[in-house]
């Protein structure tokens, strides 16, 4: 039998150990703790001791066993702020409450710009630099040969160890899902053969205006022109077709130069999207405004003037383009 002194010693030990587990660790400043894949609580207890965060690794092992916390932990990076207790740290690691990072893919940016944004992130594992566009599309399960427009612009959160290809896969899957859902809810009688053509239109709308209430109007103008067999004559497609040749200004030579994307020279839509549009532009392409307008011109404050006739349009061009205001801009503040 255990004597009174023995029982008292056990009670004291249990009480002390629980107090230890609920007392702040020896942290002078916030730290980041990395738990490698395949690590164990035993290994973690040794590392915490080596880092000087706890006095003895065995105290942590005893505390876990006493409180039946289990041995499951999740790999990753964890914030350990000053004041964290062993109990809080173990709970965080067992929940997998790892540090989250984020990268933003901006709506209206091209696939090339998306790649540059992912490449610039200091945390993501870099796989894309060693892959061709064809290899990337194959890895994503995409049969098309051109990547433009297939990736949804958004802010994506990730953990250390995730790769740029992981983010691209998520953006690809999200675009496919959102486009399919939007296509099912489209207006009747639109001049698109399939959802991909609607995506092409959405990319043009995305590049033409950043004014939310104008998107459906812009789409309505382009739908009207398609229905009347008029060329779209939209500058963003010309710019896209020029690629690296574009230096910031469109010239008359540019407008006359044939590329598959020069909608001053080709009929109908260009062969692919010219950017990665967000949902509002997709919705505008699939729910264009009912309008008689066939033309629009930038007013210099980020918005546009819409016209039903060529005569009215030419008057607006003279007003807004020939006599540009000193603070002229193509995007709103």
CA 114/CA 153 separation, integer angstroms: 9
Q: Which of 46-55, 79-88, 131-140, 267-276 has the lowest mean pLDDT?
A: 46-55
CATH of the domain at 47: 3.30.1490.480
Residue 12 lies in a domain: no
- C-beta of residue 203 within 8 angstroms of C-beta of residue 234: no
Flag whether pLDDT at 309 surpasses 50.
Answer: yes
Distance separating the N- and C-terminal Cα atoms of the chain: 82
Last residue within a domain, chosen from 70, 95, 120: 95
Which is more confidently placed, 136 or 75? Answer: 136
| Residue 59 sits in the same domain as residue 83 | yes
Neighbours of 164 (CB within 10 A): 23
Rg (CA), the chain: 30
Query: Percent of the chain having pLDDT more than 90?
Result: 60
| Residue 137 sits in the same domain as residue 175 | yes
- Domain of 166 in residue numbering reads as 101-180
Q: What are phi and psi for residue 84, nearest 5 degrees? A: -70, 135
Which is more confidently placed, 58 or 236? Answer: 236
CA 39/CA 71 separation, integer angstroms: 10
CA 202/CA 236 separation, integer angstroms: 12
| Residue 128 sits in the same domain as residue 83 | no
Residue 262 lies in a domain: no
Last residue within a domain, chosen from 73, 95, 117: 95
| Residue 127 sits in the same domain as residue 113 | yes
| Residue 76 sits in the same domain as residue 140 | no
Mean of the pLDDT values across residues 99-127? 96
Residue 328 lies in a domain: yes
Residue 239 lies in a domain: no
State how many domains the chain has: 3
| Residue 90 sits in the same domain as residue 135 | no
Last residue within a domain, chosen from 37, 61, 95: 95
Query: What is the model's pLDDT at position 332?
Result: 47
Q: What is the model's pTM?
A: 0.83
Position of tokens 């999200």?
Answer: 174
Residue 269 lies in a domain: no
Each residue's pLDDT tens digit, 265-301: 999 999 999 999 999 999 999 999 999 999 999 888 8
Residue 118 lies in a domain: yes
Residue 302 lies in a domain: yes
| Residue 25 sits in the same domain as residue 86 | yes
Each residue's pLDDT tens digit, 153-191: 999 999 988 999 999 999 999 999 999 999 999 999 999
Pairing relationship of beta strands 31-35 and 304-307 according to DSSP bridges: unpaired
Neighbours of 104 (CB within 10 A): 12
Q: Which of helix, strand or coil describes residue 296? A: strand
CA 229/CA 286 separation, integer angstroms: 19
CATH of the domain at 297: 3.30.160
Residue 146 lies in a domain: yes
| Residue 128 sits in the same domain as residue 175 | yes
């Amino acid at each position: 039998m255990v004597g009174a002194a023995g029982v008292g010693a056990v009670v004291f030990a249990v009480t002390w150990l629980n107090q230890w587990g609920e007392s702040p660790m020896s942290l002078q400043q916030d730290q980041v703790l990395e738990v490698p894949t395949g690590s164990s609580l035993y290994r973690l207890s040794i590392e915490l001791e080596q880092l000087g965060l706890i006095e003895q690794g065995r105290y942590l092992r005893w505390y876990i066993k006493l409180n039946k916390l289990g041995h499951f932990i999740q790999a990753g990076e964890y914030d350990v702020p000053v004041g964290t207790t062993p109990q809080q740290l173990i709970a965080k690691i067992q929940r997998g409450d790892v540090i989250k990072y984020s990268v933003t893919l901006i709506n209206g940016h091209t696939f090339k710009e998306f790649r540059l944004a992912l490449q610039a992130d200091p945390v993501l594992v870099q796989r894309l630099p060693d892959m061709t566009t064809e290899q990337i599309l194959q890895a994503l399960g995409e049969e098309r040969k051109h990547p433009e427009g297939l990736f949804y612009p958004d802010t994506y959160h990730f953990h250390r160890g995730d790769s740029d290809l992981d983010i691209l896969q998520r953006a690809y899957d999200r675009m496919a899902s959102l486009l399919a859902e939007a296509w099912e809810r489209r207006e009747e009688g639109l001049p698109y053969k399939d959802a991909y053509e609607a995506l092409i239109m959405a990319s043009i709308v995305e590049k033409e205006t950043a004014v939310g209430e104008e998107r459906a109007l812009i789409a309505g103008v382009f739908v009207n022109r398609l229905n009347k067999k008029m060329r779209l004559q939209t500058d963003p497609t010309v710019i896209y077709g020029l690629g690296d040749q574009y230096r910031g200004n469109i010239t008359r030579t540019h407008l006359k130069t044939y590329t598959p994307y020069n909608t001053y020279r080709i009929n109908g839509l260009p062969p692919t999207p010219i950017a990665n549009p967000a949902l509002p532009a997709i919705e505008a392409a699939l729910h264009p405004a009912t309008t008689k307008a066939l033309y629009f011109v930038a007013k210099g404050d980020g918005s546009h003037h819409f016209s039903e006739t060529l005569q009215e349009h030419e008057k607006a061009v003279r007003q807004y383009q020939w006599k540009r205001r000193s603070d002229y801009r193509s995007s709103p503040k």
